[in-house]
Amino acid sequence: MRFCRFFLAVLLFPTGAVSDAEPPNELKLAEAVVEYRELSRKLHQQDLQQMAAELKRAGLEETLPATYTKRFGFNPAQSVDFYRTAEGRRIADTVLSYQTPSGGWSKRTDMGAAPREIGQAFGVEKNYVPTFDNGATSTQFWVMAKAYRATADRRYAEAAERALDLVLLAQYPSGGWPQSFPLRGKYHDLITFNDDVTSDLLRIVRAAARDDEGLGFLPEPQRRRAADSLQRGLQMLVASQVITGGTATIWGAQHDPQSLAPAAARAFEPAALATSESADLVLFLMELEQPTEAIKLAIVRAHGWFAENQIRGYRWEKAGGDYRELLPDKNAGPLWARFYEVGSDRPVFGDRDGSVYYDIRKLSRERIRGYGWYTEQPHKVLKQFAHWRQRHGL
């Protein structure tokens, strides 16, 4: 990781601390992205080379498969005390064994049953290991931090440091994070707010910068980099809040890493305003103890958009079998569509063939059943806003 840390220092700190620096111009940003992608390529090669060496050492021609599970195969909510037990140490060691050479972890991979074998894949998905999707890497980072607090075993501290290095390296020059790093192409390379990717990583760098959550073991230079990472991430959130007709709204589920414009992902996920993801971002911003004026304004504007675009008098639930639809209910709480068209604020619904409709009933039955087209998540913002505004004297 020496190359990685050197690259990080050059990219993020070319003239010293940069938290108050002006955003880079387009040429410098483009040059930094080229360097960033080269780093990604080198880290990917590092992962491949270690696996090739393992296969040769074990006399194997093919990688042994990892075991699939819906989450990670263990309970990530266990307390620090759990990792003082024999079972806790076993889980921590098993999780540690699945850390990639580049420093991250996979998703949907059983890390609770048995340690990874020599020559066994680090994850069940061939193309997206490691990743930040579905809580991967952020979940395991916190396991390593808890295990170190419980045992003082340096292996766990070093694993957490390596994971944080990857998080810092994965941050785009524009301040956002891709879904997976090293980069693997397509929509996975976009700045990702979906599945709490960005908010999970911002919570890590914030805690690292402040020595929260027992992270005092992190080296001082790394904590300084985390502090800078937090500031750049917050600046990115302010800059990427979608403005239409001169009015700030919310965010998309994914954004272009250079232009910061909302971007489409899978065929049924158009470039649109995304309510659940935006609510998660606002809830994170509301946690900040000393938000800047720009962040306060972003919160106020997002709250205003949520308040204006709520759907009243309906609930979204199964009407028969696994088929969901909007049903009239005068006592139901507010709902929001998952996606809203940029500019018109009309709910939109995407299908597998890339078609986008204003009427959910035009979707294929498979897509109606297979996606969360409505959400209650922004209601949390509405409920907390009055207290937040009073706390900050607004």
Map out the domains of the chain with their CATH numbers. 1-16+26-240 (1.50.10.20), 243-394 (1.50.10.20)
Q: How many CB atoms lie within 10 A of CB 34?
A: 10
Which pLDDT score, from 0 to 100, does residue 322 have?
Answer: 65
Q: Which two tokens stand for residue 369?
A: 């059943």
Which pLDDT score, from 0 to 100, does residue 126 have?
Answer: 84
| One-letter amino acid for residue 348 of the chain | V
Per-residue model confidence as pLDDT tens digits over 47-86: 999 999 999 999 999 999 999 999 999 999 999 999 999 9
Known catalytic membership, residue 108: no
Per-residue model confidence as pLDDT tens digits over 295-321: 999 999 999 999 999 999 999 887 666
Known catalytic membership, residue 391: no
Share above pLDDT 90 across residues of the chain, in percent, rounded to a whole number: 84
- Mean of pLDDT values over 372-394: 95
- Mean of pLDDT values over 249-268: 96
Residues in the chain: 394
**Taking all residues of the chain, what is their mean pLDDT, rounded to a whole number?**
92
Per-residue model confidence as pLDDT tens digits over 6-21: 344 434 433 333 344 4
Distance, CA of 151 to CA of 135 (rounded, Å) = 24
Share above pLDDT 70 across residues of the chain, in percent, rounded to a whole number: 93
- Mean of pLDDT values over 204-220: 93
Per-residue three-class SS string for the chain: CHHHHHHHHHHHCECECCCCCCCCCHHHHHHHHHHHHHHHHHHHHHHHHHHHHHHHHHCCCCCECCCECCCCCCCCCCCHHHHHCHHHHHHHHHHHHCCCCCCCCCCCECCCCCCCCCCECCCCCCCCCCCCHHHCCHHHHHHHHHHHHHHCCHHHHHHHHHHHHHHHHHCCCCCCCECCCCCCCHHHHCEECHHHHHHHHHHHHHHHHHCCCCCCCCCHHHHHHHHHHHHHHHHHHHHHCCEECCEECCCCCEECCCCCCECCCCCCCCCCEEHHHHHHHHHHHHHCCCCCHHHHHHHHHHHHHHHHCCECCEEEEEEECCEEEEEECCCCCCEEECEECCCCCCECEECCCCCEECCHHHCCHHHHHCCCCEECCHHHHHHHHHHHHHHCCC
- Mean of pLDDT values over 314-343: 86
Tell me which of 155, 266, 315, 389 is the catalytic residue: 266
- Of residues 207 and 33, more confidently modeled: 207
Tell me the sheet residues that pair with 320: 323
Best CA proximity match to 371, nearest among 341, 349, 391: 349
For residue 194, give every residue at least 6 positions away whose Cβ sits within 8 Å of its Cβ, in sequence order, or none.
Answer: 179, 253, 254, 265, 274, 277
Instruction: Using the predicted structure, report yes or no on whether residue 392 has a pLDDT greater than 60.
Output: yes
Per-residue model confidence as pLDDT tens digits over 228-238: 999 999 999 99
Which pLDDT score, from 0 to 100, does residue 195 have?
Answer: 92
Which pLDDT score, from 0 to 100, does residue 278 have?
Answer: 98
Instruction: Using the predicted structure, report yes or no on whether residue 92 has a pLDDT greater than 70.
Output: yes
- Mean of pLDDT values over 194-216: 94
Question: Do 50 and 116 meet the contact criterion of CB atoms below 8 Å apart?
Answer: no
Which pLDDT score, from 0 to 100, does residue 11 have?
Answer: 44
For residue 2, give every residue at least 6 positions away whose Cβ sits within 8 Å of its Cβ, in sequence order, or none.
Answer: none
Q: How many CB atoms lie within 10 A of CB 276?
A: 21
Which pLDDT score, from 0 to 100, does residue 128 have?
Answer: 86
Per-residue model confidence as pLDDT tens digits over 136-178: 999 999 999 999 999 999 999 999 999 999 999 999 999 999 9
| pLDDT band for position 291 (cuts 50, 70, 90) | very high
